[in-house]
Structure 1
């Protein structure tokens, strides 16, 4: 890792510690939301009822709605008191505990399983936002794409480790006398353990470089109240909304991110359900497929970080959106496992690169003194998408008698709209607006 790719005073181990958090939390999304627990919830916890997929999407929507309400408060306090790291630790502990709680889910435990998903996904969402806000503190603009790509690539390695251990439990558990339900519970405990272990370096080594705001004491000091923090946070949201005409390119990016994240959220939370319902995949098949897709995603995230800095963030994001559209077409037409595997690997290539590109572009378009605020707004747009996207998929399956092919076709419209929304974005103009604010 070359020093010129980092900001002055940033040590390489800090960057690795920051990237290790992506390694830590990617196991949660990969195992819980993508490969194992989503299909387990639909087929076992909800008994494979006609409404099961829709209920799963409602639970995901509720967790993201909770994130949408909580993050402005936490973002305001974290910015005002320069406590991103403190809040990140609290969210990490909550996500680990709730993920371990999923080990106690089983047939009919819809309320318990839903509660643990809401808590764990809320904590994951807030933690990912706070971690992203450290990126412009450790990397200069010229290498934001590379460093962001390192994080996403290392994150997919974390998904591979957690998935590999989970695959071993699912395929070999019965030979040790474990039931299928116990094997799934084991994957939840493995996910929680890897999260705890891999997130530790960040809290040991990464420095908090932001400074407290001088005028923040009225709502965030020891005598302040939660009500004051809530009021301040929503004043910041209002202030950000009012400022969008001055930061119109950031606003354009937020719209684009909302649209493509609608589609990405469907892939993350419903791919295993689609594979089971349409292609007849078993749990072990799905885990193995997601395992290999994570390799593709890690390669895509790492290489696209360099592509972003070479050809520009906007062009790189446009390419990934075209890849997403190609994936939708192949998935809709897939009649064989080979075709579906091709679609899955296209999704892997686009997954890390599209999310990495968006995170890096926020770093370019956000005023440096308001990073956590703008990253919070960006992630709020993504969380609204994580509500709208899965709910639209679930609603289509419910209204069409579980026609998952129709639902995935509707998902493709989000990626097409995102590509159209991206066209007017001007990074140079947006960068000048951010610099003028600073």
Structure 2
């Protein structure tokens, strides 16, 4: 890769990233996991339902609907943000803006209390959206800091850093949540938000100090780049309709990702409302989830090398289906903890194995754009899954009945995977024209 100089800066960017730069990039996943595990998966949903909306019956619907809007907005705007970062060559600076915004709004959540419904939802939405944008843009640095032979290895380092970040952040807030999500413990719960904001900021800082962007901005202005983006998208849609394997995988991915998102978003709420898991038990529940995730990443990585991505993904989604089916009939905490461990095992590699299968069936000449569409499908699934759960809860006011929704999602997704190839198709049904031809 050719080195170049930043304008107004005589310091030359090294051709290849060194160990410090790669570790700094991985550290951002530590930062991301601290936010997603503590704020998104555990604390805010319970805090919002039990404290902020203590005297309301629509809290579950409000938080799931907000999650839907967050993911929909990110999915629609991420291509535009990515285009803007490519045109300006200021990707790291754009990440910094979202990073600061996420840090500040996460800390500000600590000022919310009973009755602050819209203040809490809007602040959480800004934090979650900013987190999502920065997470996606940081991921795009991987090809610049790692040679092709090390992509998987460094991505694995990042995953390990994420597990470590989740573990440390959970242990850090353990004393604050040990008394549970009750009114007398509100002051301690509020401290979780600025504390996680601090962890997020400190863990993410090395990325900005040590990571370099090696791809310069394009010569076109943003309006031209945006026009080209829409033109290329319009050309891609007819081609996509002819790729039955890709379309089928998008549908299967949407279904089982919707199911997985439902479980990860509502597991804290469900465990407390349905089974009485509260206080310190919630922390141990999520530590169990993280341990299972780390083990699952190793196990399913081995299975993928042995059986290929399709069969491994079928095993993974099948495990999800069994876990949800068991959860519907559980009435003891220790059994729920066991199933949570298995959920963590399945969750640990769902994304990575899906990514491998996507790479297997994507047309080589348009793999980047198809991965972009795949990301959009994932964002939509992340929003629609929880929204379906929230709507079903609003109808029958039960936390158990809506679990049939992810069970159906996983069942249909597993059925769709049956028809996908386990090896790269030897002939693409409709070879897509190169852009500009």
The interval holding the TM-score normalised by the smaller chain is: 0.7 to 0.9
Q: Runs of 5+ in structure 1 lacking a partner?
A: 1-7
Structure 2 counterpart of 1:313, from 285, 309, 314: 309
Q: Deviations over 1:7-47 (max 9, x none)?
A: x9443444333322211111111111111110111111112
Deviation at 1:428, TM superposition (A): 4.6
Which residue does the alignment assign to 1:356? 352
Structure 2 counterpart of 1:260, from 250, 256, 259: 256
Which residue does the alignment assign to 1:186? 191
Structure 1 counterpart of 2:107, from 83, 100, 105: 100
Deviation at 1:147, TM superposition (A): 4.1
Q: Does 1:154 align with 2:161?
A: yes
Structure 2 counterpart of 1:129, from 123, 132, 136: 136
8 Å Cα contact 1:331/1:343 also seen in 2: yes
Query: For structure 1, which segment, 376-385 or 230-239, has the greater mean C-alpha deviation from structure 2 after superposition?
Result: 230-239
8 Å Cα contact 1:54/1:398 also seen in 2: yes
8 Å Cα contact 2:179/2:185 also seen in 1: no
RMSD over aligned Cα atoms: 3.1
Instruction: Tell me: CA distance 1:396–1:363, structure 2 relative to 1, closer, same or farther (3 Å).
Output: same
Which residue does the alignment assign to 2:76? 69
Cα distance in 2, alignment partners of residues 312 and 78 from structure 1: 35
Q: Does 1:37 align with 2:44?
A: yes
Deviation at 1:243, TM superposition (A): 3.7
Q: Does 1:205 align with 2:201?
A: no
8 Å Cα contact 2:263/2:406 also seen in 1: no
Instruction: Tell me: CA distance 1:419–1:313, structure 2 relative to 1, closer, same or farther (3 Å).
Output: same
Structure 2 counterpart of 1:397, from 393, 398, 412: 393
Cα distance in 2, alignment partners of residues 145 and 39 from structure 1: 36
The 3-state SS of whatever aligns with 1:425 is coil
Which residue does the alignment assign to 2:7? none
The 3-state SS of whatever aligns with 1:50 is coil
Q: Does 1:411 align with 2:406?
A: yes
Higher helix share: 1
Which residue does the alignment assign to 1:295? 291
Deviation at 1:235, TM superposition (A): 4.0
Cα distance in 1, alignment partners of residues 87 and 305 from structure 2: 32
Q: Does 1:19 align with 2:26?
A: yes
Instruction: Tell me: CA distance 1:347–1:341, structure 2 relative to 1, closer, same or farther (3 Å).
Output: same
Instruction: Tell me: CA distance 1:435–1:429, structure 2 relative to 1, closer, same or farther (3 Å).
Output: farther
Cα distance in 2, alignment partners of residues 419 and 322 from structure 1: 7
Matches within 5 A, 1:136-175: 136-138=143-145, 144-171=151-178
Q: Does 1:421 align with 2:416?
A: yes
Cα distance in 2, alignment partners of residues 420 and 249 from structure 1: 14
Aligned pair count? 418
Which residue does the alignment assign to 2:4? none
8 Å Cα contact 1:135/1:144 also seen in 2: yes
Instruction: Tell me: CA distance 1:364–1:347, structure 2 relative to 1, closer, same or farther (3 Å).
Output: same
Cα distance in 2, alignment partners of residues 252 and 244 from structure 1: 11
Q: Deviations over 1:344-395 (max 9, x none)?
A: 1111111121022234445566678867644432221111112210011111
Deviation at 1:159, TM superposition (A): 0.8
Structure 1 counterpart of 2:384, from 385, 388, 402: 388
Instruction: Tell me: CA distance 1:241–1:123, structure 2 relative to 1, closer, same or farther (3 Å).
Output: farther
Matches within 5 A, 1:77-88: 77-88=84-95
Q: Deviations over 1:282-318 (max 9, x none)?
A: 2432122112211221222244334434432222222
Cα distance in 2, alignment partners of residues 142 and 419 from structure 1: 32
